[in-house]
């Protein structure tokens, strides 16, 4: 993938109005953030679509308010300035209330509900909205730490867009995993295993070594496949660390449960990533004749 080429194409995008541009770039900033900051987003994984819509609306609002009249496009909106507009709840209320014109469609509904729930919602709802505001602020703050404007982040957004397509492309295959299912199906398997294990632990059931190993193999393989799909350049540090942690955990698990003969044969073990790929291939059911 040529991220710079895709970024150049994105830079030439034309929008019918300011709100359309703000919403589109907010979506791109959010997409990269959910890819790169997995530890921040994983607790809300089950609500990602719902939370994402609220966060996108708030980020779009901040970009709209922080855009400079003399700037030719939203691309040159200062990200740090936009982040400050979402720095806390009073700042968000002020930002939404000071909009010179109401945004179109769903954006207006989301923004109005943010203010309404903050002012009149119950404690649980207010806490949820405060969490969403915090996520929206973090999206802009993290991007601002890596670039002054949206334009500075286009290459990162291009890589995130490529990753999103890979996750939904059932034909995407990497030579390291020739027989693996599509990434979207693999992710669903990992989530299903995780939910089953969480329920087992909550009910006091003891997971077997085989159960834990299955979870490690599937999770480590998916994390490795995710990085392969992203490509070697500018890989999100959290994703790299997560993949390395899972690969090492699988290798350590197998070493702890290996027989003396297996331990002796494993003295020349491959790298953790190579080990994950080998063990994942071994875990697949044999092909029917």
> Which tens digits make up the pLDDT trace of 183-192?
999 988 998 9
Q: What is the mean pLDDT of the chain?
A: 88
Quick one: pLDDT at residue 287? 66
Confidence of residue 278 (pLDDT cuts 50, 70, 90): very high
Which of 157, 173, 203 lies at the terminal end of a domain, its last residue?
157
User: What is the pLDDT at residue 179?
Assistant: 92
According to DSSP H, which parts of the chain are helical? 3-11, 18-36, 38-41, 48-66, 79-84, 89-97, 105-120, 123-146, 154-168, 183-202, 209-230, 237-256, 260-265, 272-283
Of the two residues 260 and 63, the one the predictor is more confident about is: 63
Residue 170 covered by a domain: no
Contact 61, 133 (CB under 8 A): no
Q: Tell me whether residue 173 is in a domain.
A: no
Answer yes or no: do 194 and 143 share one domain: no
Residue 175 covered by a domain: no
Residue 144 and residue 192 in one domain:
no
The per-residue pLDDT for 149 is 96
Indicate whether 177 belongs to any domain.
Answer: no
Q: What are the tens digits of pLDDT across the range 77-105?
A: 999 999 999 999 999 999 998 887 778 88
Task: State the residue range of the domain holding 70.
Answer: 3-157
- Interatomic CA distance for residues 126 and 107, integer angstroms: 19
Is residue 30 situated within a structural domain?
yes
**Count of domains for the chain:** 2
Residue 263, pLDDT score: 53
In a domain, 50, yes or no: yes
pLDDT beyond 70 at 197: yes
Same structural domain, 73 and 197:
no
53 close to 45: Cβ distance less than 8 angstroms: no
Using the 3D structure, point to which of 157, 174, 192 is the last residue of a domain.
Answer: 157
Q: Are residues 150 and 30 in the same domain?
A: yes
Nearest to 174 by CA among 223, 222, 225: 225
Question: Does residue 232 sit in the same domain as residue 105?
Answer: no
| Residues 22-35: b if buried by 16+ CB within 10 A, e if exposed | bbbbbbbbbbbbbb
pLDDT at site 1: 58
Same-domain pairing of 40 and 101: yes
Are 141 and 263 in the same domain? Answer: no
Indicate if 111 and 188 belong to the same structural domain. no
The tokens for 245 are: 């942690």
Percent of the chain residues topping a pLDDT of 70: 92
pLDDT at residue 289, rounded to an integer: 46
288 domain-assigned? no
Among candidate residues 139, 157, 175, the one where a domain is terminated: 157
- CA dihedral sign of residues 86, 90, 93, 94: negative
223 shares its domain with 112: no
What radius of gyration do the chain's Cα atoms show? Answer: 22
Mean pLDDT, residues 266-278? 80
| Same domain, yes or no: 146 and 25 | yes
Residue 172 domain flag:
no
213 and 137 within one domain: no
Q: What is the pLDDT, as a whole number, of residue 68?
A: 79
Q: Quick one: 145 and 252 in the same domain?
A: no
Q: Tens digits of per-residue pLDDT, 24-51?
A: 999 999 999 998 887 788 766 666 777 8
Mean pLDDT, range 164-193, rounded to an integer: 90
Q: Grade residue 168 by pLDDT with cuts at 50, 70 and 90.
A: confident
């Amino acid at each position: 993938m040529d991220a710079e080429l895709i970024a150049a194409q994105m830079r030439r995008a034309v929008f019918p109005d300011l709100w359309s541009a703000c919403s589109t770039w907010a979506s791109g900033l959010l997409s990269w953030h959910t890819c790169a900051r997995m530890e921040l987003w994983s607790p809300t994984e089950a609500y990602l679509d719902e939370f994402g819509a609220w966060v996108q609306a708030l980020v779009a609002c901040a970009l709209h308010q922080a855009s400079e009249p003399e700037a030719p496009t939203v691309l040159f909106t200062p990200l740090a300035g936009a982040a400050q507009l979402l720095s806390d709840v009073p700042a968000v209320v002020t930002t939404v209330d000071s909009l010179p014109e109401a945004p179109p469609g769903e954006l207006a509904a989301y923004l109005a509900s943010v203010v309404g729930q903050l002012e009149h919602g119950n404690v649980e709802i207010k806490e949820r909205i405060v969490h969403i505001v915090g996520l929206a602020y973090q999206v802009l703050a993290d991007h601002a730490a890596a670039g002054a404007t949206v334009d500075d982040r286009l290459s990162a957004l291009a890589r995130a867009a490529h990753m999103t397509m890979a996750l939904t492309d059932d034909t995407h295959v990497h030579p390291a995993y020739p027989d693996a299912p599509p990434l979207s199906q693999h992710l669903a398997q990992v989530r299903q295993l995780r939910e089953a294990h969480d329920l087992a632990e909550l009910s006091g059931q003891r997971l077997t070594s085989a159960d834990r190993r299955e979870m490690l193999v599937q999770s480590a393989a998916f994390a490795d496949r995710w990085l392969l799909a992203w490509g070697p350049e500018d890989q999100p540090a959290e994703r790299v660390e997560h993949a390395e942690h899972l690969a090492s955990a699988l290798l350590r698990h197998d070493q702890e449960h290996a027989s003396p003969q297996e331990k002796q044969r494993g003295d020349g073990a491959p790298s953790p990533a190579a080990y994950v790929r080998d063990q994942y291939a071994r875990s697949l059911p044999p092909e029917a004749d």
